[in-house]
Amino acid sequence: MKVGVVGVGWAGQQHIKAYAAMDGVSLVGIAGLEEETRSELAAEFGVEHSVARWEDLLEVDGLEAISVAVPTFLHAPIATAALERGIHVLSEKPIALDGEQADAMVAAARSAGRVLDVAFNHRRRGDVQKLRALIEEGRLGRPYYTKAWWLRRTGIPTLGSWFTQSSLAGGGPLVDIGVHVLDFALFLLGNPAVKSVSASTYDLLGSNGFGGSRESSKSGADGAAKFDVEDLATVFMRLEDGGTLLLEASWAMHRADGDQFGATLYGTEAGAEWYVDDYVPVGSLKLFGDVDGHATVESFRADIGGAHPEVVADFVAKIRSGDWSAHDGRAAAALARVVDAAYRSAREAREITLS
> Rounded mean pLDDT of the chain?
95
pLDDT band at 224 (very low <50, low <70, confident <90, very high): low
Going from the C-alpha of 216 to that of each of 39, 212, 213, 222, 329, the distances in angstroms are 24, 6, 5, 12, 32
What residue type is 282 in one-letter code? V
CB under 8 Å to 141, separation ≥6 — which residues? 267, 268, 269, 270
pLDDT at 109 over 60: yes
pLDDT at 159: 86
Query: Which phi and psi angles does 288 have, rounded to 5°?
Result: -115, 120
pLDDT at 98: 97
Residue-wise pLDDT for 68-87, tens only, equals 999 999 999 999 999 999 99
CA 311 to chain centre: 12
Residue-wise pLDDT for 305-319, tens only, equals 999 999 999 999 999
Tell me what the mean pLDDT of segment 103-123 comes to: 97
pLDDT at 256 over 70: yes
pLDDT at 41 over 50: yes
pLDDT at 222 over 90: no
Which CATH code, of 3.50.50.60, 3.40.50.720, 3.40.1230.10, 3.90.1150.10, is assigned to 2-121+308-325? 3.40.50.720
pLDDT at 219: 43
Burial class (CB in 10 A: 0-12, 13-18, 19+), 290: exposed
- Cα gap 96→23, rounded to integer Å: 30
Cβ atoms of residues 68 and 78 within 8 Å: yes
Q: What are the structural domain ranges in the chain? A: 2-121+308-325, 126-306
pLDDT at 215: 55
Going from the C-alpha of 348 to that of each of 174, 201, 217, 235, 259, the distances in angstroms are 17, 11, 34, 14, 30
pLDDT at 220: 45
Closest CA to 253 of 222, 211, 219, 221: 211
Tell me what the mean pLDDT of segment 223-240 comes to: 91
Cβ atoms of residues 95 and 118 within 8 Å: yes
Tell me what the mean pLDDT of segment 279-300 comes to: 96
In this prediction, what percent of the chain has a pLDDT beyond 70? Answer: 97
Tell me what the mean pLDDT of segment 246-275 comes to: 97
Question: Which runs of E-coded beta strand occur in the chain?
Answer: 2-6, 26-31, 49-51, 65-68, 88-92, 116-119, 143-152, 194-202, 232-239, 244-250, 259-267, 271-277, 284-291, 294-299, 352-353
Residue-wise pLDDT for 44-75, tens only, equals 999 999 999 999 999 999 999 999 999 999 99
Residue-wise pLDDT for 124-148, tens only, equals 999 999 999 999 999 999 999 999 9
DSSP, res 192: P
pLDDT at 216 over 90: no
Cβ atoms of residues 255 and 243 within 8 Å: no
Return left, alpha or beta for 33; rule: phi > 0 is left, psi -120 to 50 is alpha, else beta: alpha
pTM, whole model, 2 decimals?
0.94
pLDDT at 355: 78
Tell me what the mean pLDDT of segment 341-352 comes to: 98
pLDDT at 223 over 70: no
pLDDT at 214 over 80: no
- Cα gap 72→93, rounded to integer Å: 8
- Terminal alpha carbon distance of the chain: 39
Cβ atoms of residues 134 and 272 within 8 Å: yes
Which CATH code, of 1.20.120.1200, 3.40.50.460, 3.30.360.10, 3.20.20.70, is assigned to 126-306? 3.30.360.10
- Cα gap 235→178, rounded to integer Å: 10
Residue-wise pLDDT for 160-207, tens only, equals 899 999 999 999 999 999 999 999 999 999 999 999 999 999 999 999
Cβ atoms of residues 192 and 186 within 8 Å: yes
